[in-house]
Amino acid sequence: MRNIYLIFRRDFLGYVKAWGFWLSLAAVPLFLIVGAGFGYFAASSSPVRYYTVVEPSNVIAGAIEAEFRRTEARAAQDAAALAGQMKVPVNEAQLAEAAPDRKFVAVAPPAQSVEALQPYLTGEKLVSGPAGEKPLFAALILSADGRVLEYWSSDVNVSGLRYSAETAMRDLSRRDALLAAGLSAEFLKEADDRAVEVAEFRPRDEVGGGSEVTVADRAPAIVAVALAYFLWLMVFSIIQYLLMGTIEERSNKIFDTLLTSVKLPELLAGKLLAVFAVTSTMMLSWSMFAGVGSAFAASQSPGLTELIAPFLAAATDPGLIIPALISFILGYVLYGAIFMALGSLCDTIQEAQTLLSPMMILLMLPMFAIFIAFQDPGSPVIDYASWVPLFTPFLLILRMPQDPPLWEIVAQMGLMAATTVLIVWLSTKVYRAGAVHGAGIGDLMGMIKGAMGMKPKADVKG
Amino acid sequence: MGDAPLVMSGATKRFGAFTAVNNLSFEVPKGQIIGFLGPNGAGKSTSLRMSLGVMQPDEGAVSLFGAAPDIQNLRRVGFLPEERGLYKKMTARDTITYFARLKGMGAADARARANELLETTGLGKFKASRISKLSKGMAQKVQILSTLAHRPDFLILDEPFSGLDPMNQQTLEDLIRAEHARGATILFSTHVMEHAERLCDRIVMLARGRKVFDGTLDAAYATLGQGARMAVEHGFDLAAALAPKGFEAHRAADKGPGDSWRVSLPKGLGAQDALRAALETGAPIVGFQPEDARLRDVFVSLVGEAEAASLDAPSAADVVEAA
């Protein structure tokens, strides 16, 4: 244990004394702050755009305006629901104040034809509106026969107004058809108001057959995705440490000296622990950053605690956290051993880079599975792929909120453990061949066959 | 044999079809300085790595202090590998402390010992310097100090002089003598015979993975006896000319003009007799000097001139150093 500690200590201090470690440590919070700030800035700085509708009456303009109002009302409803879950009392005035500013504002048509509107659409002429004088962002012109609403705009990439217009047109068409069928406008309004709401419920044993779905019901799946992504991020970040660290030692010709002082398994264990500690330090620092950020947010908005509580409960549920911890440990050892063994075969960073591509592809597969699980946690793709030991560490965590059969959990853990033992054993052989005997990437297949007893060991330098 | 630092019995190591070490047996008795000699590629490093358990012999056995090499008896050993390397970002003091601790020393003792060694070898003011900031010679010195920091009973040094300038070679020779005086047993490999001549009690010579000599320096010299060095014009075969006269001649490293030959003297005959015989054959002699046998000549007589030629070739470390 003493030797493991000494190897661990040297490697750990070697990593954390490097500039790269501190840059990586600062990068994630910085990225989050900059990303969040950028997102807020992008949303708040989105300019007010003027549009106009050229039509004989004011019907289409009214329909588009109504569509905007419906969208705003839905957003207010969602905000009210969230506030309800956070147990934060809000009134309509507060909701209206919190609603984002309208980004598309209707103005009176400055001209009636496309040709006449052209200078306004290209910015040669400006139109007046609530936000001052601006170019006309879009003009919606109803054709003479009333069958086509032409959407004219110089900026074809901003499509929010067009989508709203399309929805408004469908609604208007339905309304016209119903009015034509003899229904009164009042009746249609009453029908809309009396539309049946869809409420989401979940069956439960303990609450008289079931109750409405809340954040607490979705929290386990979200936490599972977060944990799987956390493990993925950890494995992803150890690649460079293990590859570069081992290459440095191989190029420094230091293995012979080390191996006359410590046993090979002690050396590997110390190194894996050091990288684990480095990544854990990073993750812990980021978690603390998130914790402090959440605490600060909660202090500003007390109701936020109510929102966070279900996630904390899910994250501390033994049914999720125990398989997650086992997956973390086995997944880390499994991938760590592979990367370290491969690093021991490389003399240069260039050589290691040739290995990075297949490793990235290998690592992207569970990442895709995490995406699938986020969309459809019960997908059979996740169930089947979780039997592949290289993916099990990530996917078993994702499956846990779906309450898979116990035998499957035990069997997958057993398979994962057996594979980890096999990979560690093989990696030790490869590491010895690379670090001690100077074998290179080209010798890899020969060594694996040799280790499996398929043919004599590959020639290596003495 | 029980407490002999090293006993190698019939050790053989193959790499595929190539036999690097072939049935090698020798013993390193306690308290001696043993030279492990041979040209590049003779199997010296492989033998030393087997003796430390870094590599396992395919056949035969290795005994270190009476047992198979393991971490416990390796703590009594200090090993300097041929291919040198240290952690470039560690300081000189931390490097020595780290390797001493891996050999079982306590943190405070190891640190104090590192300071002491750095001070006594003139590296005191560089103790907080990173290895990457030191000159190659200084870094090599640090590695050598790391090897002996834990006061090992047995020092194994693989080509310790390669890559060092003459001044540092002398410093290393002094260090080896000091460690020997402390009571350490020392086994060092080299392809430069002069170091062995100055330092060793005994030598083991290796060629093509096989042992060709094992004994004291005197015994090595006795294989050739007294001799004379003669230089003849290029291309003249002195061995063939002197053979009918009862003298044996071997090509030696050229020093000065012409081809250099070492002529062994049969019992009862002197260097002047050899010169007279050579003149009688009409040999175009351009130089003559009576001399005692040298290890290189012993090696030449044992393995032949072609094999011995690589003794003069620089090692990989020398080439790197020169570059």
Identify the residue with better confidence: A419 or A288: A419
Residue linked to tokens 């539309």: A195
B170 CA to chain A: closest CA distance, Å? Answer: 24
Residue A349 lies in a domain: yes
- Final residue before a domain boundary, out of A165, A198, A231: A198
Confidence band, pLDDT 50/70/90 cuts, at residue B108: very high
Q: Residue A459 has what pLDDT?
A: 42
- Range of lowest pLDDT (A144-148, A185-189, B173-177): A185-189
DSSP B240-254: HHHGGGT-EEEE---
Q: Residue A281 has what pLDDT?
A: 87
Domain boundaries, chain B: 6-220, 225-292
A340 CA to chain B: closest CA distance, Å? Answer: 18
Kindly give, in sequence order, each residue whose CB lies less than 8 Å from that of residue A271, ignoring residues fewer than 6 positions away.
Answer: A7, A8, A11, A242, A245, A246, A340
Confidence band, pLDDT 50/70/90 cuts, at residue A453: low
Q: Residue A380 belongs to what domain range?
A: 215-451
Q: Residue B152 has what pLDDT?
A: 92
Confidence band, pLDDT 50/70/90 cuts, at residue B156: very high
ipTM above 0.95, yes or no: no
- Range of lowest pLDDT (A387-396, A398-407, A428-437): A428-437
Residue A443 lies in a domain: yes
Residue A25 lies in a domain: no
| CB-CB contact of A224 with A398 (8 Å) | yes
Whether the pLDDT of residue B114 is over 90: the answer is yes
How many folded domains does chain A comprise? Answer: 2
A257 CA to chain B: closest CA distance, Å? Answer: 7
Share of residues in chain B with pLDDT > 90 (%): 16
| CB-CB contact of A416 with A396 (8 Å) | yes
- A222 and A367 share one domain: yes
Q: Residue B109 has what pLDDT?
A: 92
Q: Residue A137 has what pLDDT?
A: 92
Of the candidates B199, B177, B159, B179, the one whose C-alpha atom is nearest the C-alpha of residue B34 is B199
Confidence band, pLDDT 50/70/90 cuts, at residue B91: very high
Of the candidates A221, A211, A280, A272, the one whose C-alpha atom is nearest the C-alpha of residue A246 is A272
Burial class (CB in 10 A: 0-12, 13-18, 19+), B38: buried
Whether the pLDDT of residue B86 is over 90: the answer is no
Q: Residue A449 has what pLDDT?
A: 65
- A317 and A412 share one domain: yes
Whether the pLDDT of residue B309 is over 80: the answer is no
CATH dotted code for B6-220: 3.40.50.300
- A225 and A338 share one domain: yes
Asked if B102 is an interface residue toward chain A (Cβ–Cβ < 8 A), one would say yes
Q: Between chains, do B146 and A436 touch, taking CB under 8 Å as contact? A: no
Mean per-residue pLDDT for A281-292?
84
Alpha helices in chain B (DSSP H): 44-51, 71-74, 92-102, 107-120, 136-148, 166-182, 193-199, 217-222, 238-242, 271-280, 295-303, 305-309, 316-322
Residue A460 lies in a domain: no
Region for residue B131 given its phi and psi (left: phi exceeds 0; alpha: psi -120 to 50; beta: otherwise): alpha
The pLDDT tens digits of the residues spanning A317-362 come to 888 888 888 888 888 888 888 888 888 888 777 777 777 777 778 7
Asked if B68 is an interface residue toward chain A (Cβ–Cβ < 8 A), one would say no
| CA dist., res. B75 & res. B102, Å (int) | 8
Q: Between chains, do B146 and A257 touch, taking CB under 8 Å as contact? A: yes
- The number of C-alpha atoms within 13 Å of A203 and in the hemisphere containing its C-beta is 1
Residue A33 lies in a domain: no
The pLDDT tens digits of the residues spanning A194-220 come to 777 777 777 766 656 667 777 777 888
Q: Residue B306 has what pLDDT?
A: 60
Q: In 3-state terms, what secondary structure has residue A155?
A: coil
Q: Between chains, do A460 and B98 touch, taking CB under 8 Å as contact? A: no
Residue linked to tokens 């050790």: B11
Q: Between chains, do B85 and A259 touch, taking CB under 8 Å as contact? A: no
Asked if B15 is an interface residue toward chain A (Cβ–Cβ < 8 A), one would say yes
- A158 and A264 share one domain: no
- Range of lowest pLDDT (A108-112, A237-241, A263-267, B276-280): A237-241
Residue A321 lies in a domain: yes
- A90 and A194 share one domain: yes
Residue linked to tokens 């090696």: B299
Share of residues in chain A with pLDDT > 90 (%): 12
Whether the pLDDT of residue B97 is over 90: the answer is yes
Alpha helices in A17-159 (DSSP H): 19-44, 59-85, 92-98, 114-122
- A354 and A303 share one domain: yes
- A309 and A419 share one domain: yes
| CB-CB contact of A362 with A390 (8 Å) | yes
Q: In what order do the strands lie in the sheet with B6-15?
A: B18-28, B6-15, B59-64
Mean per-residue pLDDT for A257-273?
86
Beta strand B185-190 with B33-37 is parallel
The pLDDT tens digits of the residues spanning A75-90 come to 877 777 777 766 667 7
Of the candidates A377, A116, A352, A326, the one whose C-alpha atom is nearest the C-alpha of residue A247 is A352
Q: Between chains, do B98 and A3 touch, taking CB under 8 Å as contact? A: no
Confidence band, pLDDT 50/70/90 cuts, at residue A422: very high
Kindly give, in sequence order, each residue whose CB lies less than 8 Å from that of residue A64, ignoring residues fewer than 6 positions away.
Answer: A53, A106, A140, A164, A165, A168
Whether the pLDDT of residue A19 is over 70: the answer is yes
Task: Pick B87's closest partner by Cβ from A6, A254, A437.
Answer: A254
Confidence band, pLDDT 50/70/90 cuts, at residue A447: low
Asked if A260 is an interface residue toward chain B (Cβ–Cβ < 8 A), one would say yes
Task: Pick A260's closest partner by Cβ from B43, B54, B90.
Answer: B54
Identify the residue with better confidence: B318 or A73: A73
Q: Residue B112 has what pLDDT?
A: 93
Residue A459 lies in a domain: no
Q: What is the mean pLDDT of chain B?
A: 83
- A236 and A319 share one domain: yes
| CA dist., res. B5 & res. B67, Å (int) | 10
A247, containing H or E segment: helix A215-251
Whether the pLDDT of residue B321 is over 60: the answer is no
- A169 and A58 share one domain: yes
Residue A5 lies in a domain: no
| CA dist., res. A422 & res. A217, Å (int) | 39
- Range of lowest pLDDT (A93-97, A344-348, B22-26, B141-145): A93-97
Beta strand B202-207 with B210-216 is antiparallel
Mean per-residue pLDDT for A184-195?
78
Mean per-residue pLDDT for A182-197?
78
Contacts of A254 in chain B (CB under 8 A): 85-87
A286 CA to chain B: closest CA distance, Å? Answer: 27
Region for residue A62 given its phi and psi (left: phi exceeds 0; alpha: psi -120 to 50; beta: otherwise): alpha
- Final residue before a domain boundary, out of A143, A173, A198: A198
| CA dist., res. B72 & res. B259, Å (int) | 53
Share of residues in chain B with pLDDT > 70 (%): 91
Q: Between chains, do B79 and A252 touch, taking CB under 8 Å as contact? A: no
Q: In 3-state terms, what secondary structure has residue A145?
A: coil
The pLDDT tens digits of the residues spanning A33-78 come to 888 788 777 777 778 899 999 998 888 899 899 888 888 888 877 7
Q: How many other C-beta atoms are found inside a 10 Å radius of the C-beta of residue A151?
A: 16
Of the candidates B315, B266, B322, the one whose C-alpha atom is nearest the C-alpha of residue B81 is B315
Q: From the options 3.60.70, 3.30.200, 1.10.287, 3.30.70, give the CATH code of B225-292.
A: 3.30.70
Asked if A19 is an interface residue toward chain B (Cβ–Cβ < 8 A), one would say no
- A181 and A236 share one domain: no
- Range of lowest pLDDT (A416-425, B38-47, B221-230): B221-230
- A192 and A228 share one domain: no
Q: What is the mean pLDDT of chain A?
A: 81
Confidence band, pLDDT 50/70/90 cuts, at residue B110: very high
Kindly give, in sequence order, each residue whose CB lies less than 8 Å from that of residue A216, ignoring residues fewer than 6 positions away.
Answer: A310, A313, A314
Whether the pLDDT of residue A460 is over 50: the answer is no
- A186 and A269 share one domain: no
Q: Which two tokens stand for residue B39?
A: 């040209």
Beta strand B154-158 with B77-80 is parallel
| CA dist., res. B175 & res. B173, Å (int) | 5
